């Protein structure tokens, strides 16, 4: 099985780490290819960023399918471009936020999300509502460390995550915790362990791992997103500053 992971930003310094994270979580036979964007923003922390990374995510998703990938994961907890990418593909396109929120809802009474900035709280709340999970969301709490600094001082980040997670469990009645940025990849285990020591036996999910498990499961099942919800869009005129590399026209499409 071959899964493409789209690193949906122009920053490539963490791509190797991303590759390792996903490969470690994948099954033995699963090959992981990480591809970064040619255009977009350095990180994703706002509606503006989500808008600017979406077009090239579409190009990469289409390329993945053309290259024979079995599934695609978009490595960001805002799930940018997820629905649009599904319109252009038949293979499963998985968003870590959607995958993790649904798994969290499966494992406990309510879940909390730990996000980057206070102003990301509405984005995550709107996302949970879009996925139909507003009644399962206990809270969204921010750690207020920018994405690009998350790994500069990983220890501080983990401490901030533990602190926010503890508040979520104690004050917001969270029974499952979801670190809400894929830049926090690999830190979930430490947070879960620390919560356990505080007397809170709650799962802390690692969204990239959850996403690749969902991708593998869908490939195993021979299933994908509903083309009734995400049909190929009509072919139409598209003007773009860089025609050559640009592919978000429907290929196998149905009009």
Stretch 59-78 residues interacting with a copy of itself (CB under 8 A): none
CB of 18 to a copy of itself, least distance (A): 18
Check residue 197 for interaction with a copy of itself (CB under 8 A).
Answer: no
End-to-end Cα spacing for the chain: 30
Helices 188-197 and 154-172: angle between axes, nearest 10 degrees = 50
Number of residues that bind a copy of itself (CB under 8 A): 89
61: closest CA among 89, 26, 19, 22? 89
Contact 159, 130 (CB under 8 A): no
Please pick, from the candidates 63, 125, 167, 172, the single residue that binds a copy of itself as defined by CB under 8 A.
Answer: 125
CB of 2 to a copy of itself, least distance (A): 17
Check residue 207 for interaction with a copy of itself (CB under 8 A).
Answer: no
Q: Which is nearer to a copy of itself, 15 or 148 (CB)?
A: 148
Contact 214, 187 (CB under 8 A): no
55: closest CA among 68, 73, 76, 41? 41
Q: Which is nearer to a copy of itself, 4 or 200 (CB)?
A: 200
Contact 180, 68 (CB under 8 A): no
Stretch 12-31 residues interacting with a copy of itself (CB under 8 A): 25, 27
CB of 42 to a copy of itself, least distance (A): 4
């Amino acid at each position: 099985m071959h899964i493409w992971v789209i690193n949906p930003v122009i920053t490539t310094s963490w791509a190797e780490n991303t590759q390792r994270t996903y490969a470690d979580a994948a099954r033995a036979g699963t090959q992981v290819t990480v591809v970064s964007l040619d255009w977009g923003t350095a990180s994703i922390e706002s509606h503006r960023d989500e808008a600017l990374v979406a077009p090239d995510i579409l190009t990469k998703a289409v390329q993945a399918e053309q290259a024979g990938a079995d599934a695609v994961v978009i490595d960001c907890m805002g799930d940018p471009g997820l629905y649009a990418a599904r319109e252009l593909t038949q293979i499963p396109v998985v968003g870590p936020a959607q995958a993790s929120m649904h798994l969290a809802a499966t494992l406990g009474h309510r879940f909390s999300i730990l996000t980057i900035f206070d102003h990301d709280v509405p984005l995550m709340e709107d996302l949970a509502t879009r996925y139909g999970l507003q009644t399962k969301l206990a809270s969204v709490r921010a750690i207020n460390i920018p994405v690009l600094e998350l790994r500069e001082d990983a220890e501080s980040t983990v401490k901030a995550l533990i602190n926010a997670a503890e508040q979520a469990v104690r004050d917001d009645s969270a029974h499952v915790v979801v670190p809400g940025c894929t830049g926090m990849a690999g830190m979930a285990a430490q947070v879960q362990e620390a919560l356990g020591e505080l007397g809170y036996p709650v799962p802390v999910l690692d969204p990239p791992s959850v996403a690749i498990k969902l991708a593998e499961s869908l490939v195993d099942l021979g299933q994908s997103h509903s083309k009734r919800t995400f049909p190929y869009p009509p072919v139409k005129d598209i003007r773009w500053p860089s025609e050559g590399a640009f592919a978000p026209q429907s290929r196998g499409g149905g009009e």
